[in-house]
Homo-oligomer: A and B are copies of this chain.
């Protein structure tokens, strides 16, 4: 089966780059929120999250940063916390042909919300070389 032809020919490369990046960013949030984490395990958890999401279609790079200050502030009797949206900052690069979408998740204090948005889109055809 030609998956591209059958399921994705109704949207542009740029649209599909946005689409696949959005899927992976929501996967990041809903899969890993609730995971026990502290200052010592945060770095390895970031890497495991990145490695798992890079397996998804079109994903080229995943940068996740867990806010260590928030872990410290939230600190509990038991010396770890559950990963929550306000301590996550992430950037996902998804690329379909010549279109690269950079999807961002960032906790916006003013909105009290981990906003997911398209930070940038690069069309490689438009770059002078």
Size of the chain A interface, CB-CB below 8 angstroms: 59
Q: Report how many copies the assembly holds.
A: 4
Residues of B near A77 (CB, < 8 A) are 3, 111-113
Identify the closest chain B residue to A33 (Cβ): B34
Which residue in B15, B26, B45, B114 is a CB contact (below 8 Å) of A15? B15
Which residue in B44, B110, B114 is a CB contact (below 8 Å) of A48? B44
What is the minimal beta-carbon distance from A102 to any residue of chain B, in angstroms? 11
* A31-B36 Cα distance, complex, nearest whole Å: 10
- Nearest first, the 10 A-B pairs at minimum CB distance are A48-B48, A26-B26, A22-B22, A55-B80, A33-B34, A30-B30, A77-B111, A7-B117, A30-B31, A23-B26
